[in-house]
Amino acid sequence: MTKLLETPYGTQDFLPEEAAAKRIIEQKIFGLFASFGYEEVITPTMEYLETLTTSSGREIESHLFKMFDRNNRTLALRHEMTTPIARLTAGRLKNSSLPLKLSYNTNVFRFRKNQPGRQCEFYQAGVELLGISNAFADAEVIGLAAQALKFSGLENFKICLGQVEFAGGLMEQNNLSPALQTEIKSAIEHHDIVALENLPVDDSLKKIPKLQGGREILSAAESIAKNDRSKKALDNLKEIYRLLEIYGVADKITFDLGLIRDFEYYTGMVFEAYAAGVGYSLAGGGRYDNMLKDFGMDCPATGFALGIERILSARKIQGVKENSQAEKIYLGYAAGKEESAIKKAAELRTEGKIVEVSLMPQSKVDSEKICAEKNCKELVYLE
């Protein structure tokens, strides 16, 4: 019997109050996405394995939940939404006018060690902006991510902004072998400063993880960038920052040129959002101009995903009031008043009220007791 009452590894239940808080946050975020012109898409929970493992050589297969269909083809539960949306865009939306602005809010699955902020089933809301490659598009998605966190009730957060082409340009500048570049990328991506220090590379590359801070960091980075690729990356960040000042969210931005996320996947700016007191990112995204090529469509793209459970945890840590308890009316009635109770409840509901009707006649005293137990705001009693 004990096993029957357990949830599978890495999953969780949401109790009524928790589910209500989750839904409120999702509705606020999705309303914000819609106000920017993003339209919702829904894709299957499962995809063919080759679909999810195609894009840009990403090593993800060991983290997927896999199964077989009746034709013995391998399927897998989606591990994120960018790849399914790329498949959808290249397949069913390839003749749509660009840019495309798409949004989603769904659960995704990834097998990994279960720890705070990292589950096997988790919920994400996000956007993908496809068909345009400029700083204005990048600034829109970063600005939208910042506003989504604010809409969630969080004020104490920072967005770390980087550019993968800066590090790429420095490696190109130093004429490094592919094998050594792989070691450098791994050290930077995993924030392994010790490993980076021990590699036989120029000091300019060893400085990358230390290039963190305000706008002045870009000036410091310019002093070691002697190639056009790195310089263009810095110019891109400057223009994004200028636009984010107009959005009114520049105070939330900190630069981190050691932030490269998945180097093989991202092609330009990348960012992650963190909140005070929370040891994991709340959101992440960036520019990925090469992904759709794997699906036969040459189309630039940028976007981000928010972790819903992570946002809910951050709200608790920062003491944000949930306000998820609906103001509900409890309607009790004496024997013989069933018809009146149904009609009265319908009348109140047309006024926008939430009404729970007793399922059997009861005394006023019993109605008052149940009203209190259910934390209802008001009792309506018919006698």
Residues 279-327 pLDDT 10s? 899 999 999 999 999 999 999 999 999 999 999 999 999 988 766 567 8
Distance CA 148, CA 33 (A): 8
Residue 211 three-state SS: coil
Q: Which two tokens stand for residue 218?
A: 């870009």
Residue 266 three-state SS: coil
| pLDDT score of 183 more than 80 | yes
pLDDT tens for residues 35-55? 999 999 999 999 999 999 986
Cα distances from 26 to residues 88, 196, 234, 291, 328, in angstroms, run 23, 40, 34, 27, 21
pLDDT tens for residues 201-248? 888 899 999 999 999 999 999 999 999 999 999 999 999 999 999 999
Q: Which two tokens stand for residue 374?
A: 């259910």
Q: What is the CA radius of gyration of the chain?
A: 25
Mean pLDDT score of the chain: 93
Check residue 54 and give its pLDDT.
84
Distance of CA 304 to the CA centre of its chain: 6
Ramachandran assignment for 357, one of left (phi > 0), alpha (psi -120 to 50 degrees), beta (any other): beta
pLDDT tens for residues 331-372? 999 999 999 999 999 999 999 999 999 999 999 999 999 999
Check residue 152 and give its pLDDT.
95
For residues 136-161, give the mean pLDDT. Answer: 97
Instruction: Place 57 in a pLDDT band, splitting at 50, 70 and 90.
Output: very low
The dihedral over CA atoms of 288, 290, 296, 298, expressed in degrees to the nearest 10, equals: 90
b/e per residue 185-194 (b: at least 16 CB within 10 A): bebbbeeeee
For residues 266-276, give the mean pLDDT. Answer: 95
Instruction: Place 7 in a pLDDT band, splitting at 50, 70 and 90.
Output: very high
- Global pTM? 0.91
Instruction: Place 158 in a pLDDT band, splitting at 50, 70 and 90.
Output: very high
